[in-house]
Structure 1
């Protein structure tokens, strides 16, 4: 019998906390079932083994791991090629999933939030299905869905469009394209940016969106001091709130 691939959510605070800040207790953001499942898994697939170990240390403080951390098999996803689209060769995916094929349960984790959502782990999940490995998603935070729910925008029809172009002209064109789509279809458009570019993206959105277009920003979700706000571009321009350049944010636009 094959093992199962568990999609294990992690907190949204990794890489976002200042040196003097304490992370929120795991029990505030993850159900007990997730912690108990994570504590018993012998094998893991992660973007970064160091981050995965840090997560498991926090799990151990709540639910003791069933075997020592240093004995767990943590395999890393390969780094994406520069300037290219990530495609992990089947033989690499097979090596990552080998413990499951051999009968062990395996955990898949992202750097933050839900694995395989806006995350390269999706390729692992697809290969697991092809190999006949059962996939078990566990309950946990997803910044995209939390931001959408808090936006008051259309939750019946929405699209996550990822990162916008960095070059000014291409970014402006993409913003106008997404705005036109949102107005024509009523579909909410969700996007993210590398945190240090948050202020630049916000400035571009305010410069190129129509005044009556609705813009939502959710920043530092589930963290102490996290916030979200959803209002017209015109009102955003009047208030001009500062946007941190070191905390992840989710941006959303809607036709109004």
Structure 2
């Protein structure tokens, strides 16, 4: 029999953010996020976030669509440690249970990253894992995920794919990793997805065109969901003939396969 003095646990909501973070475009949120997602986010006063400043900016935009349940000044926002969102938290080395105390006290709690879905190419998996371990219900809300948008629009294999994060920055190591991933993609049919820091987009494209075989297909999605969205998918041979359409200041997703 449950103890009536023990508060019922709140839920952990995974709140997606628009993909325009760091861009000069801030379109209407309802163009990319369902009203139900925005309403659920507006009802939360407790947050775990990657960056409190950008989280508050996002909450202000939500308030323009649907009123927040309390003022932003009253919100309780706790940032993930810098080491977690710089190095990732999927290894299990970071214990996030203390961040979930509001949910243990009966409050619903939101998890948010800079763009897209938390814990997908972004930090947050340690918080989700800790929620499961503590018996806290996890509720993923609907919103854009750049990896899946790029994959869906690439023409590459969407039945078998892998996200491999960042490739090495060292040119020699990066070239070796590109050839390794290409071999895997050609042998298994598995699409390989990866990302890069925006200001290194062009260097990544040049490395891919240098090391990939002519018939390998390369797709790049940039600025997705924005007015200036770009998604090009073609053979490496044809990529080499193109005037580069890649923006070196906008996050991009790279995909390769056949």
After TM superposition, the score normalised by the length of structure 2 is 0.93
**Residue matched to 2:106:** 103
Partner of 1:161: 164
Question: Per the alignment, in what secondary structure is the counterpart of residue 165 of structure 2?
Answer: strand
Name structure 2 gaps, 5 residues minimum: 1-7
Aligned-pair CA distance for 1:239:
1.1
The partner residue of 1:11 within 18, 21, 27 is: 18
Q: Where does structure 1 differ by over 4 angstroms across 4 or more consecutive aligned residues?
A: 81-88
Deviations 1:49-89 (A, max 9, x none): 00100000000011011111100100000011799664553
Q: How far apart are 1:244 and its partner, in Å?
A: 1.4
Q: How does 1:143-154 map onto structure 2 within 5 Å?
A: 143-154=146-157
- Structure 1 residue 95: deviation in Å? 2.1
> TM-score scaled by structure 1?
0.94
SS at match of 1:98: helix
Shift in Å at residue 120 of structure 1? 1.5
Q: Equivalent residues in 2 for 1:1-256 (5 A)?
A: 1-17=8-24, 22-80=25-83, 86=89, 89-90=94-95, 93-254=96-257, 256=258
Between the aligned partners of 1:136 and 1:83, the Cα distance in structure 2 is 25
State how far apart, in whole Å, the 2-side matches of 1:62 and 1:128 are: 29
The one-character-per-residue Cα deviations of 1:18-50 (angstroms, maximum 9, x if unpaired) are xxxx41100101101111111110100100000
CA contact (8 A) 2:209 2:236 kept: yes
- The aligned counterpart of 2:5 is none
Q: Counterparts of 2:226 and 2:199 in 1: how far apart (Å)? A: 18
Conserved? CA contact 1:47–1:110, under 8 Å: yes
Measure how far apart 1:225 and its partner are: 1.0
Task: Give the number of equivalent residue pairs.
Answer: 249
Q: Does structure 1 conserve the Cα–Cα contact (< 8 Å) formed by 2:164 and 2:192?
A: yes
User: Any unmatched runs of 5+ in structure 1?
Assistant: none
Query: Cα distance 1:108–1:81, how it changes in 2: closer, same or farther (>3 A)?
Result: closer
How far the C-alpha of 1:242 sits from its partner, in A, is 3.8
Per the alignment, in what secondary structure is the counterpart of residue 187 of structure 2? helix
Is the Cα contact below 8 Å between 1:3 and 1:103 reproduced in 2?
yes
CA RMSD of aligned residues (A): 1.5
Query: Separation in 2 of the partners of 1:23 and 1:178?
Result: 35
Give how far 1:227 is off: 1.1
